[in-house]
Copies of this chain bind each other. A is one copy, B any other.
């Protein structure tokens, strides 16, 4: 299917406002509809998304304006999973066994087999995060078992599903101190995440141990 009209309009408006000073007014919805030869509702859909994402803001009865660029919405907690440019993963360890605690949190019987993987995320050679990933073994596609990185790619799940994250303060676990190059006794944040499918069934459990020097958790909403 061709890309929807409103997405094209959205892109063109984004290009249009790029570099404009904060609070610059943009054309009214009716004008934009004429410019783009689209209905006002379609233009509104594009504008609504741009407002939602923090590129624009509205002022009722007055107009729509360019917002501060640094305030584009960002939830870097979810970004933890997303692969950036200079970021790569190094698998440290994985096995399959019963892990009752993890099974419980995945709504599974305690004796269910769990795939546990531990990997290190590096950004430009510097250690950023240790990830402990717990997956129900039965959900793993056997054809992919030789390509463990495909299995551990959480993006597809997060796209359509939902994410609950708990931020836990702790001292760095001793076994990760060297790997993250963080001194023993340093306070860190461990992000305890459960990924759900749209219906609310748990799909994966992930614990992220962040190196506070390299990974600042910042959320803009």
Contact = CB atoms under 8 A, between A and B. Distances in A.
Interface of A: 22-23, 41, 54, 57, 59, 65, 67-68, 70-71, 75, 77-78, 162-171, 187-189, 196, 198-201, 210, 212, 216-221
Copies of this protein in the complex = 2
A162 B54 contact: yes
Nearest to A51: B198
Contacts of A70: 200
B170 A23 contact: no
A221 B164 CA distance: 6
B162 A189 contact: no
A79 B95 CA distance: 39
B199 A68 contact: yes
Q: Which 6 A-B pairs have the closest CB atoms?
A: A68-B200, A187-B187, A57-B198, A167-B217, A169-B187, A164-B220
A155 to B, nearest CB: 15
Contacts of A218: 164-167
Given A77-B219, A200-B67, A169 B166 contact: no
A219 to B, nearest CB: 5
A41 B22 CA distance: 33
Contacts of A166: 216-218
Nearest to A189: B169
Contacts of A199: 22-23, 57, 65, 67-68
Given A22-B200, A59-B198, A162-B220, 11 more contacts: A68-B200, A68-B201, A162-B221, A164-B219, A164-B220, A165-B219, A165-B220, A167-B216, A167-B219, A171-B187, A187-B187
A112 B51 CA distance: 32
8 contacts: A67-B198, A70-B200, A71-B164, A162-B221, A165-B218, A168-B216, A169-B188, A187-B187
A143 to B, nearest CB: 26
A55 to B, nearest CB: 11
Nearest to A160: B57
